[in-house]
Structure formats: structure tokens, C-alpha cells
Amino acid sequence: MLGSLVLHHANPAAAAALGSLTSNNYLRLRALKINRHSGKKQAPPVTFGSQNSSLGYRRLVSPSTSSICATVGEDSFKSSAVFTDDSSAVTMTDEEMESIGILSIDQALEPYKEHFKYIIKRYVDQKGLIETYEGGLEEFAQGYVKFGFNREEDGIVYREWAPAAQEAQLIGDFNGWDGSKHKMEKNQYGVWSIKIPNYGGNSAIPHNSRVKFRFKHGNEVWVDRIPAWIKYATVDPARFAAPYDGVYWDPPPSERFQFKHPHPPKPKAPRIYEAHVGMSGSEPQISSYREFADDVLPRIRANNYNTVQLMAVMEHSYYASFGYHVTNFFAVSSRSGTPEDLKYLIDKAHCLGLRVLMDVVHSHASNNVTDGLNGFEVGQSSQESYFHTGDRGYHKLWDSRLFNYSNWEVLRFLLSNLRWWLEEFKFDGFRFDGVTSMLYHHHGINMAFTGDYHEYFSEATDVDAVVYLMLANYLIHKILPDATVIAEDVSGMPGLGRPVSEGGIGFDYRLAMAIPDKWIDYLKNKNDEEWSMKEISCSLTNRRYTEKCISYAESHDQAIVGDKTIAFFLMDREMYSGMSCLTDASPTIERGIALHKMIHFLTMALGGEGYLNFMGNEFGHPEWVDFPREGNGWSYEKCRRQWNLVDTDHLRYKFMNAFDRAMNLLDEKFSFLSSTQQIVSSTNEEDKVIVFERGDLVIVFNFHPENTYDGYKVGCDLPGKYRVALDSDACEFGGHGRVGHDVDHFTFPEGIPGVPETNFNNRPNSFKVLSPAHTCVVYYRVDESLEADVDETSIAEVVVGKENFEESGSVIDDGNVGPRAEKSGEGSSDD
């Protein structure tokens, strides 16, 4: 039963094709990524069935989303708060429990009302217990001021939760690794503690010295472990496969970094640059936080992104895991520097107006024993452990441990971890990794999400994990109201992106994870003539109304060794020989650069309410990512970014980079990503043309490999005069400059106002354009009331002009970019 809120397709074949989309094969890709680099036997493939876009369920459509999709009456979207969760005492009346806000947004969820009531009650009860016994969620989430190492006036107090330990000692450089004089005491809750008095007026444990927690467990065996709350961990680079050591980090005031710049304002829509600090340099070596801050952040700002998403920040002993096998949750990755170095990076980003998100991994933990949380597992029960026991505590594809989210101390540990990164390092939010694995007991393994709501709301739901995520999102937004929190979820659970106060899980955005798979499917399996405009459009627009998405055309996953970036799929080996501007571009290079621009911009303009790009993909970085491993001789050659390619003026990489810069600036100028106005008026299969409106812009994509259309009629909402705002065929973007930027496009009325069936493509007005093959052009409506006072041509200049391309010597003349196109090329659009 799909109910009334279903995506309708005019073309059954398009619907069937959309239904067959496999969304990211996410778990398999993660497992293969890990196993490729570890040399372990590869896990069996995971099958995800029908997953329409990143959502995979019946779509709740905005009334203004698309002409090819059913709309829902306005009354359906009236919502009411389910409870007030900022009060000191969290309680719910029977009336509030019956009035769950998310159900009034999507009435097809009504059959699962009892499910929502149960989860909400569990959340309220858990939050109430924390308030009763810990003084509130915010206080509870300051575990780092109690656990781990904390400096007091007369000494250092160290506490560790290890209920399975029978005896415990603190060892390190400070006592010659002899814990006999530093034995710890255990309280009734399994917390071990010791106070080490100052020595000679100074700390008995020197700053930046090594420490470990030594304990004896049930087998009468003593083991040494890195403290769970350690703030820094290092490894001896001169020793192959050396274990990590915990490091006591307490720099003197003169060495502590002091933040100078406040959090930048929250943007209307995030334009995210996903980056990995370690592989961000040009040289085949691990880059530092300070190098990234000084060398890469200015590039990101210059390309008009407003947010940086940092991968692999939390310490992970296995470099090739891309940071997803975390060993030390409160420690920054020491490969790239110290905690103070990371603070320098974040402050520098804030100085540039860039917000910084962190990839946080609370879905699982490294299986490592010697240097990770798993080292505290010595056969105890789940309630005395960070993880579930048995199969429930082990992710068989990721070879990692799974948290017990019902455990009080696990909640303290994870929630405190979030607050630590927000307050100590001034991050502006998080991207939660592996949310699908958290939401379900089956973790998405061998699960084909078909779109039936029962797949999301059943006994398969991990309620403990859902409650944790609700607590986490409430806490984050309580501490930092303007935080941005993104969920990496491939299943598309309804409510994931709605506020906790409505009964949702509370994320601000979810990643639209099926979009990159759609593009890769097309590039691998279809020639240009087989591309379906309707299928592409539906894949990009198929998301739940009122639940925002971050769209992306390709991610770091698709650059891993054995796979290809979009640019490499399009141009392959010709990227080695055909990227010089000193020779004519081959048809493959022409097509590749043109489609690279179109794919990324269409994804941005139609695929979500935010946009993400992985480091280097903005200029078509060639080849792949391959971390050092035995199979490649421990080489860093493919674990870097070749910035020289985009910096070399005679190479064509600069064209893709320039277009990326311009499309971000287009959103800066027109705020189309944050607009709820998104109407697809035409998906013409014969012409291979998509026409849509996003915000106040009219956007035309011509995917035909050969046909250029002169005088092509496009529909629009408002009458008036339109001009070019962005043109992928501009010479500055490696195009041919066929579209005139000084041409005025006047609209014509179509049919009877207010009667869509008499209009042109259901739009009350139209104008005509020149649409070259493999080109996208954006048009904006001129405000003629201001035209006498404002030079309207400066809008095009701002978007594709002076600031962006002065390095390449472009000349701006009367609002035109590069050589002036012949006005006659615009057909009859201004006749």
C-alpha cells in the first residue's frame, strides 16, 4: 500500500527504471574500501534493492516541486509540536502524545503512530532520567571534565570506566612504566580513579608524555590500554606497525592556541567542500593541519564554498580506513599535527568565513585491541561494556565493534564526545557517518529497501540508537543553535530530517546518496542517446518535502582505487595527453569537460537544498585515491591532490574549476539552493533537454550530443525580461562562446492565466533561447524598476566575471564575458 503520497510518473518505463536504482551499495563499498587496503578477504556483496534516490520510499512532494509529480494539499503540511523539550522537566501529556507533529506532515505515517509514540516515550524517559541523576543533558555531556585526565590546582585526577577490571594502575613515562606506586581505586559504578599530586610545584605528569591504563581482568592477565578519554595519541613512525601510545596533553598557556574569530553565520544553504587533510598536499606524503589551513583553505574560499567538511579527524590507527575505524574518539589524528594545529586550521577557516563540519563516527569503532576502545573488552557483559556482546556487537562487513546505545556510560561517552569537539575545537556541526547501520538491527546488510514504510518502522528498528541520535541532535542544537548536522543514511528513514520536537530524529540534512550512483550508472552503461531526461530529473527531485538533502555528483568513495572519478570515466587515458590548451581538444575531451560541468551543476541545482564536492573533483582530478599499503609498496603517489594541474594556465583543468567557482557564486548571488521553488517544466526525451525553475532562475540543460536548438521555447512563471546569469559554454569555462550574454529575452504570455492546461508546459509565460549541444544556461529575470539605477549586466559579470577569471586575462566588456557572441545567434528570442 503506497497511499496517496506517492510519486507519480507520466512514463511507466521511467518509473520502472527509477525503481531499479541501487543506492550507493554503501555497506559493500565501505567494506571493499577497507579490505582493499588491509589485504583481508573481501566481504560478500550487499544488495540494496529499489532505492529511489537516497530516500527509497514513497515521496512526500512539495506543491512546487515538479510538474511530473503528484502534489499534496496545503493542509497536509500543517504541523504541531509533540512536546516542549527545552524545559527542565521533560513530560508529555496524553494530548501531546496523540498530536505528533510529523504525522500531520505525512499522513501516510499514521498507521505507525504507535511506533512513534513508543520511540518518543523512550526518548523523553531517557532524557528525564539524565536530568534527574546528572543534572541535565548538557551537564551529562561534559564527561570529559570528570573522566580521563583533568588538572586540578594541586595535582592531576585520572578516572576510567572499566567495571570488568579487577585491579588497575596508571603507567607512563612519568613513572618509568611501573604502576606499583600508582594503583587506582574502584567505586561501585566500575569507575577507577587516582589523584597524582604535583611534584615540586609542577605537574607530576609532564605535558606531551606517554601514558597508559594498565588493568588486570578475570584471567589474572594484566593488559595495557590507551585511556578511553585520551586527548592525543601518537605512534613511533620509525617502528613498522608500532602500537599507539596515549599522550597527556596539557600545554602551558604560552603554547595553547587562542581562538580569535567567531563562528561564521549559518548560511542559507551549505555549499560543502569535503576534504581529507592528510592527502590534501601536492607532495606524496601526509599533509599537516597547518599546511591545509595555509594552502588549501584559500582555494576553498576562492571557489565560493561556505563550508568545509573534514574527514579523518578522530584518531584512527589504520590510515587507509579514510578515518572510519576510529580508535581514540577524543583525540585528533596525530598524523597531521597536534590539537593546537587543528584549532589553528578551524580558526583560519572562520577567519575566511568558512564553517567547519567534522565527520563524526559514532556508528561503530575500530576492532583494534591494543589502541582502541575494543581493548577494554575482556569477556564482560554488555552492560559493563562499550559494545554489545556476540553478533550484535560486531559488524561483519566492516570488521568493527558496535556500540550499546542503551548503556548509561556509553551515552555519556558519545554525547560528551560531541560536546568536546564543539566546544574545545569550535566545529560548526557534524556529518554523522554510517547512520543506516545505526538505525536498524540488520544494519542494512542484505536489505533491499523497497519503499514500504514497514521497512523503517518495525521490530528491525534499533530504538536505542534512534533515541541516542535524538539526544545527540537535541544536545548539538542546544549547545550551538546554528549548528549544521547531516546524516549519512542510504535507507531514507522518514522523519530523519525533522526536528526532535515533532517526533523526528533531528538532523538538518541527509545526504542524497543515490544521485552519484545514478550518474555512474549512466557513464558506465549508457551512451549519450540513451540518457533519459525524465529518469535523471526524477532521480534528482525524488526527496521528501520538508526534509532537506545535500546533493553530490561524486564522493570520495568513488575515487578509491578500483573505481574512477566522473572526469576519469568521461575522459580516461586522454586526460594524460589531451588536456593542453596548446592543442585542439579531441571530441572525447570536449564531451568530457562539457558533461563534467553539466553533471555537477544539474546535481547542485536540482538535487537538494545543499551541495557537496570532494576535494579535487571540482577541477576534474584524474586517476584515483590509493592509500599506502603493501600492495602498492606503501606509496603515497596516489594519496595526494595534484593542485599543479589546475594551477597550470595552459591546462584545461582550469575550465572545470572556473565553472565550479561560478556555480557556487551563482547561489551566493541568487540563493537558489535555499528556495522552495523548484519546478521541472520540461523533460524532452527527443530533444534531450531539461528545463526547470529554481528560485527566480530559469535553467536549461541540453544533453543532446549534437543538436543545437535556435529559438528554443522555454516556460517560466513571471513575465518580463530575462538575461544570462551563467553559461557553461562561455569561453572562460572551455566552451565556444555561442550564447550571447548581452541579449534581452522578452517573455510571451501563454494561454489563460491561472489555467495550467492552457499554458506552455504548465507555465504561464515563455521566452526563446539558443541552446547549444552539451550546454547548460541559467537565466535571471531583470528587475526593470531598478534598471535605470543599477547596471544589470553586472550580475552576469559577478557570476562569471572579473573576480573569478582575472588570473586568466579575461576581459569584461559591457557585461559580456570573453568574446562577444553574435546577437543573431539567439534566434527570435528578442524579436
Give the mean model confidence (pLDDT) for residues 568-586: 96
Q: Is residue 421's pLDDT more than 60?
A: yes
742 φψ region: left (φ > 0), alpha (ψ -120 to 50), beta (else): alpha
Give the mean model confidence (pLDDT) for residues 320-340: 94
Give the mean model confidence (pLDDT) for residues 660-666: 98
Kindly indicate the confidence band of residue 797, based on its pLDDT and cuts at 50, 70 and 90.
Answer: low
The rounded percent of the chain whose pLDDT value lies above 90 is 74
216-225, 341-350, 458-467, range with the lowest pLDDT: 216-225
Kindly indicate the confidence band of residue 66, based on its pLDDT and cuts at 50, 70 and 90.
Answer: very low
Rounded Cα distance, 204 and 70, in Å: 69
Task: Write down the pLDDT at residue 56.
Answer: 32
Q: Are 158 and 196 in contact (CB under 8 A)?
A: yes
Rounded Cα distance, 273 and 357, in Å: 10
Task: Write down the pLDDT at residue 705.
Answer: 97
Instruction: Name the nearest CA neighbour of 541 among 570, 518, 574.
Output: 518
64-78, 458-472, 626-640, 695-709, range with the lowest pLDDT: 64-78
Task: Write down the pLDDT at residue 158.
Answer: 98
Q: Are 471 and 415 in contact (CB under 8 A)?
A: yes
Q: Is residue 266's pLDDT more than 80?
A: yes
Give the mean model confidence (pLDDT) for residues 235-240: 83
* pLDDT per residue as tens digits for the range 192-201: 999 999 998 8
Q: Is residue 37's pLDDT more than 60?
A: no
Rounded Cα distance, 492 and 511, in Å: 9
Kindly indicate the confidence band of residue 34, based on its pLDDT and cuts at 50, 70 and 90.
Answer: very low
Task: Write down the pLDDT at residue 48.
Answer: 28
Q: Is residue 538's pLDDT more than 90?
A: yes
Domain 143-248 and domain 285-305+323-511, same fold? Reply is: no
Which residue in the list 160, 359, 433, 462 is annotated as catalytic? 433
Q: Which CATH architecture has domain 143-248?
A: Sandwich (2.60)
5 Cβ contact partners less than 8 Å away, ≥ 6 residues apart: 58, 59, 60, 61, 72, 106, 107, 108
End-to-end distance of the chain based on CA atoms, in angstroms?
A: 53
Task: Write down the pLDDT at residue 23.
Answer: 36
Instruction: Name the nearest CA neighbour of 710 among 740, 686, 733, 683.
Output: 740
Task: Write down the pLDDT at residue 305.
Answer: 98
* pLDDT per residue as tens digits for the range 363-382: 999 999 999 999 999 989 99
68-72, 222-226, 258-262, range with the lowest pLDDT: 68-72
Q: Is residue 70's pLDDT more than 90?
A: no
Rounded Cα distance, 176 and 380, in Å: 30
Burial (CB count within 10 angstroms: exposed 0-12, middle 13-18, buried 19+), residue 719? middle
Q: Is residue 664's pLDDT more than 90?
A: yes
Let me know the angle formed at the C-alpha of 732 by 729 and 738, rounded to the nearest 5 degrees: 30
CATH no., domain 285-305+323-511? 3.20.20.80
Give the mean model confidence (pLDDT) for residues 592-617: 97
Task: Write down the pLDDT at residue 386.
Answer: 97
Rounded Cα distance, 165 and 214, in Å: 9
251 φψ region: left (φ > 0), alpha (ψ -120 to 50), beta (else): beta
Kindly indicate the confidence band of residue 44, based on its pLDDT and cuts at 50, 70 and 90.
Answer: very low
Most confident of 9-13, 238-242, 580-584: 580-584
42-56, 173-187, 466-480, 538-552, range with the lowest pLDDT: 42-56
Q: Is residue 15's pLDDT more than 50?
A: no
Give the mean model confidence (pLDDT) for residues 283-303: 97
Backbone φ and ψ for 41, nearest 5 degrees, come out as -60, 135
Give the mean model confidence (pLDDT) for residues 700-719: 97
Task: Write down the pLDDT at residue 812.
Answer: 27
433 is catalytic: yes
732 Cβ contact partners less than 8 Å away, ≥ 6 residues apart: 655, 658, 800, 804, 805, 808, 810, 817, 818
Q: In the chain, where are the structural domains located?
A: 143-248, 285-305+323-511, 676-781
463-467, 566-570, 790-794, range with the lowest pLDDT: 790-794
Give the mean model confidence (pLDDT) for residues 22-45: 41
Q: What are 450's three cell numbers?
A: 523497497
Kindly indicate the confidence band of residue 787, based on its pLDDT and cuts at 50, 70 and 90.
Answer: low
Task: Write down the pLDDT at residue 55.
Answer: 34
663 Cβ contact partners less than 8 Å away, ≥ 6 residues apart: 600, 601, 604, 605, 726
488 is catalytic: yes
Give the mean model confidence (pLDDT) for residues 149-168: 96
Rounded Cα distance, 777 and 689, in Å: 12
Give the mean model confidence (pLDDT) for residues 379-406: 94
Task: Write down the pLDDT at residue 57.
Answer: 33
Kindly indicate the confidence band of residue 562, based on its pLDDT and cuts at 50, 70 and 90.
Answer: low
pTM score, whole prediction: 0.87
Kindly indicate the confidence band of residue 1, based on its pLDDT and cuts at 50, 70 and 90.
Answer: very low
- Beta-carbon-side half-sphere exposure of residue 269 (alpha carbons within 13 Å): 28
Q: Are 359 and 418 in contact (CB under 8 A)?
A: no
CATH class (in words) of the domain with range 676-781:
mainly beta
Task: Write down the pLDDT at residue 318.
Answer: 85
Q: Is residue 570's pLDDT more than 50?
A: yes
Which residue in the list 85, 409, 488, 667 is annotated as catalytic? 488
Kindly indicate the confidence band of residue 87, based on its pLDDT and cuts at 50, 70 and 90.
Answer: very low
Rounded Cα distance, 421 and 224, in Å: 26
> Mean of the per-residue pLDDT values for the chain?
85
Rounded Cα distance, 243 and 226, in Å: 10
464-473, 603-612, 627-636, 723-732, range with the lowest pLDDT: 627-636
153 Cβ contact partners less than 8 Å away, ≥ 6 residues apart: none
